[in-house]
Structure 1
């Protein structure tokens, strides 16, 4: 059986995100993941630090950060400090960069650059020195008394980065939808990468990143999930989509607005058909979502991490509670 996680984009004030974190811990969630996109959401490091206050068990992580807007020295120091404060309850989720970069016209890292960034972060967290590429100077975290254990999770959807994650990461945040064929293809690709470093799939912690909207009215639930489904579709996927849906995916890619990244009111959400929502989200009535979760439980997933969507003015506490109730029935 999988554990529970929740992804919280800091679209609300820091105090509200802290309340959601405390609620998730009280409901038995194992991880809370915080979005990091400085131009459209509140600052993730401030939010995580505040959310950690009063928690005792839940693991805090980014879903996800990058090594462009955040220099490696800053990333390493942030996570060493958060690990110290929480007693090691941290998980560094990182990717090549998405809306945090694209809202400024910057390009994501290449996979080789991401691999180098992960290696340098691990060196810094061990107390070792690394070389700054622009200045040529060596630097290190001078205050570390001993190495800090911070597991690194790579966010991945396309085959090449899934394979890289399998080879070098401690965990993988998998964003490929909720359909069996896409999840299975992603897991197979991760395992190929794991074998390249002498490991197996069981050596990694697999988190299925799951856009989620639960409502007694399935139509309203689908509408809430469309924006996140659009975000999934703009990236390459580990398995082929039915050709009848390719035209819709092409339109989404052409019209995606990163300043409305995963915004339920985004215009690009309007062109996402129901068929794609059913492939890439957990959206429907409580009974429908429970049935889909039961299917996921048969796969080699360690955690289902929901990204809860609600209408403007409503609280994400409701789907956080509802998902916990549904998962408890399995």
Structure 2
């Protein structure tokens, strides 16, 4: 869902989205962050925020058919004049959230915790307002695993194990924040305290259920960062996120019950929280 400025040349990324828009209409969104698994497995590191900011500008301008300076040259995709691409920024830390508000068309928060969502959304909107932008013009997207259970305690316990990997994945980003700011990082303690027992991360098991390096993630974090439980639990969380200003929820389905979860969302969860438009008399 989220690319980065390091894996591909920015012109390639821009051309990719412009091509998809030309083929299928303006239906694409570019999610982008500093980089995680794609750069770490090749012994790289996340890019700087300055690089991220520059890449957002170059990719957006080129993918929208406009001229932009890149590596000393003035570049444009002359065939992309009708392409329209928004840049949504994935962020957790205070400086990345500020950048999102300053230049992003959208904000991607990869966890479904309500208190953290409220804090990050407020930070993005405050930065947008300070930059002279419309805070409400930034699309808010929450992305997290969802697992629909049968409502029993056994089902809940099983579902938690299927998505516990997500707490480990988020922990990589949190570890970067703690490394930069220390234990007194200017972010909610709910986001940082749980990684104290974290002991490394194996990217060979990245995003996989049952991986061996996420035992440090407690049930409380699984329940807060993910959505696990019967349909009613999912409906309530969707409504709570919607009330906070979330526009879109992206379901991560890296578990053993993809079809059932997706069907439940399509048939029960989303219809329950969707805005209903009545036909005029």
- TM category (shorter chain) comes to 0.7 to 0.9
Counterparts of 1:259 and 1:130 in 2: how far apart (Å)? 38
Aligned to 1:156: 91
Match 1:286 to one of 220, 227, 231:
231
1:3-152 equivalent positions in 2, closer than 5 A: 63-125=1-63, 126-132=65-71, 136=72, 138=73, 140-144=75-79, 146=81, 148-152=83-87
CA shift in 2, pair 1:242/1:199, >3 Å = closer
The alignment yields a C-alpha RMSD, in angstroms, of 2.1
Counterparts of 1:111 and 1:232 in 2: how far apart (Å)? 18
Deviation string, structure 1 residues 177-214 (Cα, Å, up to 9, x no partner): 32321111001110121113212321111001122111
Check if 1:299 corresponds to 2:233.
no
TM-score, length-normalised on structure 2? Answer: 0.84
Check if 1:224 corresponds to 2:158.
no
Q: 1:242 Cα shift?
A: 5.1
Match 1:326 to one of 269, 274, 278:
269
TM-score, length-normalised on structure 1? Answer: 0.72
Match 1:265 to one of 210, 214, 236:
210
Q: 1:290 Cα shift?
A: 2.4
Contact kept, 8 Å, 2:93 with 2:187, in 1: the verdict is: no
Counterparts of 1:309 and 1:166 in 2: how far apart (Å)? 30
Counterparts of 1:68 and 1:179 in 2: how far apart (Å)? 29
What are the ranges of 5 or more consecutive residues in structure 1 without an aligned counterpart? 1-62
Q: 1:158 Cα shift?
A: 1.7
Counterparts of 2:40 and 2:90 in 1: how far apart (Å)? 17
Q: Which runs of 4+ in 1 moved over 4 A?
A: none
Counterparts of 2:61 and 2:134 in 1: how far apart (Å)? 24
Aligned to 1:240: 188
Counterparts of 1:278 and 1:190 in 2: how far apart (Å)? 24
Contact kept, 8 Å, 2:207 with 2:254, in 1: the verdict is: no
Counterparts of 2:59 and 2:131 in 1: how far apart (Å)? 19
Contact kept, 8 Å, 2:15 with 2:77, in 1: the verdict is: no
Counterparts of 1:68 and 1:94 in 2: how far apart (Å)? 11
Aligned to 2:278: none
CA shift in 2, pair 1:226/1:124, >3 Å = same
Contact kept, 8 Å, 1:211 with 1:229, in 2: the verdict is: no
Aligned partner of residue 244 in structure 2, secondary structure: coil
Check if 1:211 corresponds to 2:145.
yes
Q: 1:147 Cα shift?
A: 5.6
Aligned partner of residue 89 in structure 2, secondary structure: strand
What are the ranges of 5 or more consecutive residues in structure 2 without an aligned counterpart? 178-185, 274-281
Contact kept, 8 Å, 1:76 with 1:124, in 2: the verdict is: yes
Counterparts of 1:263 and 1:310 in 2: how far apart (Å)? 7
Counterparts of 2:243 and 2:80 in 1: how far apart (Å)? 43
Aligned to 1:251: 197
Counterparts of 2:68 and 2:248 in 1: how far apart (Å)? 34
Q: 1:322 Cα shift?
A: 1.1
Contact kept, 8 Å, 1:219 with 1:284, in 2: the verdict is: no
